[in-house]
Structure 1
Amino acid sequence: MDYNNQPIGIFDSGIGGTSIWSAIHALLPNEKTIYLADSKNAPYGQKSKSEIIALSMKNTDFLIDMGCKLIVVACNTATTNAIQELRAKYTIPFIGIEPAIKPAVTHSKTQVIGILATQGTLNSELFNKTTEKYQDTKIIEQVGHGLVQLIENGQINSPEMTLLLKSYLAPMIRENIDYLVLGCSHYPYLIPQIKKILPDHIQIIDSGQAVAKQTQNVLREKVGFTSSSGSENIFYTNTNPKVLQEIIGNNFTAISKDF
């Protein structure tokens, strides 16, 4: 078996991690990928730490059985709650995704930033350790209750979504944030909606590009790039594949599979 030509595995609690897949695929177009959307159990952000760890291990086992050479945990909640346990149990390299707080803090002029994330991410020990490093910046945290469910149900541009986003963003705008950090891989699909609500001077940051670059670095240092031209990209979901298919477009196929 040519290990270099094995796929990169990517999993999320649903379709949101496809935003991370897109960044990886754009940077590494020759790499094979297998994407796992655990939409049946979405959102992870409302589950206990033990449940999140168990689901993350289940997803990891599936991707290892499919021959993956590296796994990207394309879920903020799974990363902040489970990646230490994953790295302790498995020998395969893992890449996690965390809210991109550092660049927001570094570039903020008002020293006030906002973060929109799930409850599971904001409550995690890893997230709290990260925010403790930035005592000089006011960080306004907002749980995105209901956002993942609407995205998973294909209601990105619905009136319900607009109302929720306005209610979550208004307090941040009043506090004079100049950066908004998206702390869930589902949320980049809401950027067009969010831009209609935020003043023009507020910058939006997500983690996609940083995760893609880290994936490239790990492949270079530990794993190896594919040696073949062209790539095969497989997308699995354990629910109705319709919404995932709409997100990935007609060039790829969403496959329904029980896992």
Structure 2
Amino acid sequence: MSNSGPVGVFDSGVGGLSVLAELRRALPDEHFLYLGDTAHVPIGARSDEEIRDLTDRAVTALHARGAKAVVVACNTASAFSLSHLRSRFEMPIIGLVPAVKPAVQATRSGTIGVLATPGTLRGTLLADVIGQFAVAAGVRVLQAVSRDLVPLVEAGLADSLEARAVLREVLTPLAEAGADQLVLGCTHYPFLAGSIRAEFGETFTLVDSSAAVARHTRDVLTREGLLGPPGAHGEVTYLFTGDVDAARRVVATLTAPDMHNGQHLPTAAGGVSWPTPEPLRIEPVRT
């Protein structure tokens, strides 16, 4: 397989942009194809079989456009589809694992929270990592779930009174129970970090897996001899299955510097450092 192709990144919508930001920091010379299946978001309410089918169709579309590897930047899709995808494609398929391990290692209260989608909670991956890392360490895990947060981020309303009201409702029980780490179990949720801070201050340390996935992707590309040539200026082409104009507006919002105090949108690592603003190459795609 050639090392000149792009790295594919798939999410059910725009949440995977938080992973893409970390990938671009770790791999500045790589070109990326980002595919957001906005025609079917959110996928967590769909059946297991439909989640696998939608993910397969998206990865097939990225492969057809020359992707040399694909990052499944969606917790729900990862939970239901990784084994299937790896049996279908020879290229590296990299998925997400909820960042329970670092939260367990960092907690001082002995209680951590996980904010997840219904689909991620339904899968076995989260339960497996809780059992492997939290239960073994004697750390209590409290779970919070909402069907409303992903649609709010998809609508460009991550920093809104509506988002803050939902977060206040679902996270207050975790704060009152003493959770000091909050695992963001969906790639949409790092974009809610500002709203979480506005409601809860420094109650939680926010933890997500984006930076770890980016490091792992770099390691995989290096091991497989797929790193792109050095010195290139990596570019991104965005593909969306739904309304391209609506996607353009949301992508521009989520990839631009935060309008509050001129800072970038915060994530668990302390901030998303996007490259210099560039024209958005956004195309419709069928999967």
TM-score relative to the length of structure 2: 0.86
Aligned to 1:119: 118
Change (3 A) 1:245 1:236: farther
Q: How many residues align?
A: 258
The answer to whether residue 243 in structure 2 is matched with residue 244 in structure 1 is: no
Match of 2:166 among 164, 167, 185: 164
Of stretches 152-161 and 209-218 in structure 1, the one that deviates more from structure 2 is 152-161
Counterparts of 1:69 and 1:36 in 2: how far apart (Å)?
Answer: 14
State the one-letter code of the partner of 2:108: K
Give the conservation status (yes or no) of the 8 Å contact 2:152–2:158: yes
Q: Which has the higher helix share?
A: 1
Amino acid at match of 2:125: L
Identity %: 33
Q: Deviations over 1:104-134 (max 9, x none)?
A: 0111111100000111111111221111122
- State the shift of 1:199 in Å: 4.1
Native 8 Å contact 1:245 1:254 kept in 2? no
More deviation in 25-34 or 238-247? 238-247
- The Cα offsets for residues 33-53 of structure 1, whole Å up to 9 and x where unpaired, read as 000011111111111110110
What is the deviation of 1:196? 1.5
Residue matched to 1:79: 78
For 1:176, which of 171, 174, 178 is the aligned residue?
178
Q: Structure 1: give runs of 5+ residues left out of the alignment.
A: none
Q: State the match for 1:231 in structure 2.
A: 234
Q: Secondary structure at the match of 1:231?
A: coil
Q: Which amino acid aligns with 1:150?
A: L
- The structure-2 alpha-carbon separation of the partners of 1:73 and 1:188, relative to structure 1 and needing over 3 Å to count, comes to same
RMSD: 1.4
Task: State the distance in 2 between where 1:45 and 1:118 align.
Answer: 7
User: CA offset at residue 258 of structure 1?
Assistant: 3.3
Q: Distance in 2 between matches of 1:67 and 1:49?
A: 27
The C-alpha deviation readout for 1:69-105, integer Å capped at 9, x for no partner, is 0000000000011111111121111111121000001
| SS of match in other structure, 1:128 | helix
CA distance in 2 between counterparts of 1:218 and 1:258 reads: 27
Matched, 1:203 2:205: yes
SS in 2 for 1:46: coil
Structure 1 position 67 matched with structure 2 position 66:
yes
Structure 1 position 31, deviation (Å): 0.3
Alpha-carbon distance in 1 for matches of 2:203, 2:77: 31
- CA drift of 1:10 comes to 0.2
> What is residue 107 of structure 2 aligned with on the other side?
108
**SS at structure 1 position matched to 2:44:** helix
Tell me by how many angstroms 1:197 deviates: 1.8
Structure 2: runs of 5 or more not aligned: 257-276
Q: Is the 8 A contact 1:76 1:185 kept in 2?
A: yes
TM score, norm. by length of structure 1: 0.95
Q: Is the 8 A contact 1:233 1:252 kept in 2?
A: no
Distance 1:162 1:246 in 2: 18
The yes-or-no answer on 1:258 pairing with 2:285 is: yes
The residue type equivalent to 1:234 in the other structure is T
Q: Distance in 2 between matches of 1:192 and 1:130?
A: 27
Q: How far is the alpha carbon of 1:254 from its aligned partner?
A: 4.6
Q: CA deviation at 1:252?
A: 3.6
The answer to whether 1:192 aligns with 2:194 is yes
Distance (Å, rounded) in 2 between the aligned partners of 1:122 and 1:55: 19
Residues 17 and 186, structure 1, Cα contact 8 Å, conserved in 2: yes
Instruction: For 1:175, give the aligned amino acid.
Output: A
SS of aligned partner of 1:39: coil
Distance in 2 (CA, whole Å) between partners of 1:21 and 1:9 is 10
1:158, CA displacement in angstroms?
2.2
> What secondary structure does 1:213 align onto?
helix
Residues 160, 195 of structure 2: 8 Å contact kept: no
**1:12 and 1:74 in contact (8 A); partners too:** yes
Judge which range, 197-206 or 19-28, deviates more: 197-206
Equivalent residue of 2:224, what SS? helix
Residue aligning to 1:151: 153
